[in-house]
């Protein structure tokens, strides 16, 4: 609840607006941050906008990918309100990872092919399949 509340406050302050295309959704999410350099968009493929999160995470290197998942409720809340979905593909909580890799899609586009980092870590997979 805390992370969703913080996201809602950020969105009020930054005047977030619902968007219609996946590119606009990615750009609107990026605009919610103090610096776009900290959350660069790295590519757009089909219905997916890929980005990285360079902002240092308190879970970095801890192996606590489940904690990362709970903390990223902030981003999921933002994406819900602007018309999208948010999936962490690679988490800074994973040992040796310094940059999160994330994906965004429109709310009505399936994300079944995107394997979230916390699910992948539970299975013991080392590489995110959606980035192959």
- Residue written as tokens 């429109």? 106
Residue 128, pLDDT > 90, answer: no
Q: Strand, helix or coil at 111?
A: coil
Strand-pairing partners, residue 44, are 49
128-131: long-range contacts, CB 8 A cutoff, minimum separation 24:
128/89, 128/90, 128/101, 130/48, 130/87, 130/89, 130/103, 131/50, 131/89, 131/90, 131/101
CA triple 90-93-97, angle to 5 deg? 60
Residue 130, pLDDT > 50, answer: no
Q: How confident is the model at residue 129 (pLDDT cuts 50, 70, 90)?
A: low
Number of neighbouring beta carbons within 10 Å of residue 29: 23
**Cβ proximity of 111 and 102 under 8 Å:** no
Residue 132, pLDDT > 90, answer: no
Mean pLDDT of the chain: 91
Nearest CA-CA partner of 3 in 105, 98, 80: 80
**pLDDT digits over 52-85, tens only?**
999 999 999 999 999 999 989 999 999 999 999 9
User: What pLDDT score does 4 carry?
Assistant: 86
**Cβ proximity of 53 and 38 under 8 Å:** yes
Q: How confident is the model at residue 2 (pLDDT cuts 50, 70, 90)?
A: confident
């Amino acid at each position: 609840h805390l992370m969703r509340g913080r996201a809602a406050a950020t969105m009020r302050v930054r005047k977030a607006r619902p968007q219609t295309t996946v590119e606009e959704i990615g750009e609107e999410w990026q605009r919610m941050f103090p610096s776009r350099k900290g959350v660069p968009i790295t590519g757009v493929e089909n219905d997916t906008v890929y980005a990285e999160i360079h902002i240092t995470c308190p879970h970095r290197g801890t192996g606590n990918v489940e904690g990362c998942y709970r903390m990223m409720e902030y981003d999921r809340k933002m994406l819900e309100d602007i018309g999208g979905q948010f999936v962490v593909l690679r988490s800074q909580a994973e040992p040796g990872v310094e940059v999160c890799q994330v994906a965004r899609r429109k709310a009505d586009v399936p994300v079944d092919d995107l394997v979230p980092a916390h699910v992948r870590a539970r299975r013991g997979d080392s590489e995110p399949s959606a980035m192959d």
